[in-house]
Amino acid sequence: MRLPSPAARSYSILNEFPPARKNLVTPWFVTILVGGVALSGYGGFILYQTLTMWPPEVRGDLRDAVRAKHEGDYRKSEQYFHRAWNTIRTLPIESLGSQPYLKLTGMALAFADVLELSKKQQRAYEVYVHALELLQQDDVKAMLTGPERLRAVAISSKLGELAKDLKKHKTEEEKWRVWAVEELLRIVKSPSKDDAGENVDYSHQGSFNLPLLALPSWISKTDIGAPLEALGSFYAEAGRLDFAMPLYLQAISLLIPPAPKKSTPEDRCRGAQLMGNLSEMIMRRPPSPDTLHQAEAWASQALAVTKKARAESSKPIDPCEEVYAAALFNLATFRNMAGDRNVARNLYRDGLEQARSIGLSEGVVEASRALHRLDMGESEPGQK
């Protein structure tokens, strides 16, 4: 990829800053610029602009690595990244500027991403392990900022995923997932010095990106609920509902924090979805009036949360629309089991309509069947 000529560069948003102020652009701001501009295909330009944010020792390799990656030559890219990664670890950490561990591990992530692209999952796994170990060193831990600690959570979560893909022993996957959750809870309980006392929005801190390296998308999805959800579903799949349930509860309380804290409609809908999962999990217990009551309470809460989140936003948000359809259906089923047919019918109808409007064919089929059975006067044969 050739660098655009100076003339071609002149319209870039980066150039809207007078030259003297360019250095004031924070990494956070650059994230947005890199994200937006890289998407429009000006990777080469960004490369040129931001290369200077890296120590001179790695610039050459980094530039060649990113260029080879853009050209789809992963083998070559891997070689350059490998060398840059080896080099950067020999440099004094101060040479990496502010939040140096974001840069250091960012290099590892970019390297591992190329390894994954060339289907070298095991090698990528080792690089991720190494990156995480760097963050877990005793003398390093105390100096990490919030985003750097969240980076560690993200890497550990990624390792959990890869351990599963690589079919490693279950305890290996569990180890990474547990560490991610524990660290996340430590961060929530005692944020780092730099953000102590403030109402830090961690859901956005995880997306810290780096000058030059557009990091893989999984890293930007890091947020507060995900590691808990992942560990919860790991235990649920393993049949350990006793471990899974408290994790779901924790995740719900983080996604839907008590007032006056607020969260986005998206997060609240994710919380509502977890309430649905919880309700389903409770129904797997031996049946009793008490389990039924609890399960319905969660289903009903899920519906209320989703309704409110939808009402507050002017356009449809992912995952609210699907969660809403499921919540209507679930609550309808509970009402039907209780013999409350009129309410059940109305909920099924709303659910059917919602499933139709978002093209959820499975939902349409299920709700139509349920309505049909209801109108035939049969009772619900089982629970969903």
Ligand X SMILES: *[C@@H]1O[C@H](CO)[C@@H](O)[C@H](O)[C@H]1NC(C)=O
Find the binding residues for ligand X in span 274-303 (CB under 6 A): 277
Considering only 79-87, 147-155, 227-235, 353-361, which stretch makes contact with ligand X by CB under 6 A?
227-235
**With contacts defined by CB under 6 A, how many residues of the chain interact with ligand X?**
6
Find the binding residues for ligand X in span 308-327 (CB under 6 A): none
Residue 383 touching ligand X (CB under 6 A):
no
Instruction: Using the structure block, give the residue that is written with the tokens 């000058």.
Output: 211
Considering only 48-56, 113-121, 225-233, 365-373, which stretch makes contact with ligand X by CB under 6 A?
225-233
Residue 306 touching ligand X (CB under 6 A):
no
Distance CA 177, CA 164 (A): 11
116, 229, 267, 321: which one binds ligand X (CB under 6 A): 229
Give me the long-range contacts of 295-302 (CB less than 8 A, separation at least 24). 295/334, 296/331, 296/334, 296/338, 299/275, 299/327, 299/330, 299/331, 299/334, 300/331, 300/334, 301/272, 301/275, 302/272, 302/273, 302/275, 302/276, 302/327, 302/330, 302/331
Task: List all residues 6 or more positions away from 272 whose beta carbon is below 8 Å from its beta carbon.
Answer: 256, 301, 302, 303, 305, 306, 309, 323, 327
Residue 77 touching ligand X (CB under 6 A):
no
Query: Would you tell me the crossing angle of helices 320-337 and 289-312 to the nearest 10 degrees?
Result: 150
The least distance separating ligand X from the CB of residue 114, rounded to whole angstroms, comes to 29
The least distance separating ligand X from the CB of residue 187, rounded to whole angstroms, comes to 20
Helix (H) or strand (E) holding 42: none
Nearest to 145 by CA among 254, 26, 62, 56: 26
Distance CA 22, CA 39 (A): 21
Ordered alpha helix ranges (H), 261-340: 265-282, 289-312, 320-337
Distance CA 116, CA 25 (A): 32
In the bound state with ligand X, the residue whose beta carbon lies nearer, of 4 and 319, is: 319
In the bound state with ligand X, the residue whose beta carbon lies nearer, of 162 and 236, is: 236
Considering only 33-41, 232-240, 357-365, 370-378, which stretch makes contact with ligand X by CB under 6 A?
232-240
In the bound state with ligand X, the residue whose beta carbon lies nearer, of 277 and 301, is: 277
The least distance separating ligand X from the CB of residue 266, rounded to whole angstroms, comes to 15
Q: How many CB atoms lie within 10 A of CB 214?
A: 20
The least distance separating ligand X from the CB of residue 365, rounded to whole angstroms, comes to 16
Number of H helices, E strands in the chain: 19, 0
Considering only 200-208, 231-239, 286-294, 346-354, which stretch makes contact with ligand X by CB under 6 A?
231-239
Residue 333 touching ligand X (CB under 6 A):
no
321 with 354: CB under 8 angstroms? yes
Residue 232 touching ligand X (CB under 6 A):
yes
87, 192, 220, 233: which one binds ligand X (CB under 6 A): 233
In the bound state with ligand X, the residue whose beta carbon lies nearer, of 104 and 309, is: 309
The least distance separating ligand X from the CB of residue 233, rounded to whole angstroms, comes to 4
Find the binding residues for ligand X in span 173-212 (CB under 6 A): none
**What is the CA 44 to chain-centroid distance, rounded?**
28
End-to-end CA distance of the chain: 54
50, 105, 145, 273: which one binds ligand X (CB under 6 A): 273
In the bound state with ligand X, the residue whose beta carbon lies nearer, of 42 and 329, is: 329
In the bound state with ligand X, the residue whose beta carbon lies nearer, of 44 and 319, is: 319
| Contacting positions for ligand X (CB under 6 A) | 229, 232-233, 236, 273, 277
